[in-house]
Amino acid sequence: MAVVGARLRPPPTFVAALGLLLAGCDAGAPQVGASSDPPPAPTTVVRAADLDPGPIKTAAEYLRDPELAEADAARGELLGLACAACHRFRAEEGTLIGPHLQGVFGRTAATIEGFDYSEALRQSGLVWTPRSLEAWLANPAGFVEGTTMAFTGYRSSEDRRDLIAYLLHATQ
């Protein structure tokens, strides 16, 4: 039943989440928890073909690694709102613009059946580990040249670390 003339207002949490989501999609937007300092100078671009993804482990094993053990997964959940604009974390939720991320760690890139990946990602041979995902999240287009993923990346290594810690929990 519609109420004629009533104005719908989104709840404040929705507005805040939308702001975070949009900030993650804009290379010039401030990152969650970002200071007013200018971003660091760009580092050398890591390419998928040149990266050793490191050992394939379970999520629990990765989370015992010292760097990820100290990560703030709750903060990573907020950063994950940018991912949720295009991806679902559970297979049963299907795909959106991007494939679902369930079971992503240890999986070869571009292998979810029925999803139309870029030729570049299909040919990359990339295996998703925290190390490879960290490089991807820093600069997707530079890491796999020719990818169709429009996300510009996270400039902060702390943002990437916290997001990866969250994804290790959310995508099992």
Specify if 26 maps to a domain.
Answer: no
Q: What is the pLDDT of residues 128-168, one digit of tens each?
A: 999 999 999 999 999 999 999 999 999 999 999 999 999 99
For residue 132, give the nearest of 67, 52, 45 by alpha carbon. 52
For residue 157, give the nearest of 122, 130, 124 by alpha carbon. 130
User: What is the number of structural domains in the chain?
Assistant: 1
Crossing angle of helices 157-170/130-138, nearest 10°? Answer: 130
What is the CB-side half-sphere exposure of residue 54 using CA atoms within 13 A?
Answer: 14
Write the CATH number for 145: 1.10.760.10
pLDDT at 43 (0 to 100): 52
Specify if 5 maps to a domain.
Answer: no
Task: Identify which has the larger pLDDT, 31 or 80.
Answer: 80
* Residue numbers of the domain that contains 111: 45-170
pLDDT at 45 (0 to 100): 72
State the average pLDDT for the chain.
82
Tell whether the model's pLDDT for residue 2 goes beyond 90: no
pLDDT at 44 (0 to 100): 59
Specify if 155 maps to a domain.
Answer: yes
Specify if 97 maps to a domain.
Answer: yes
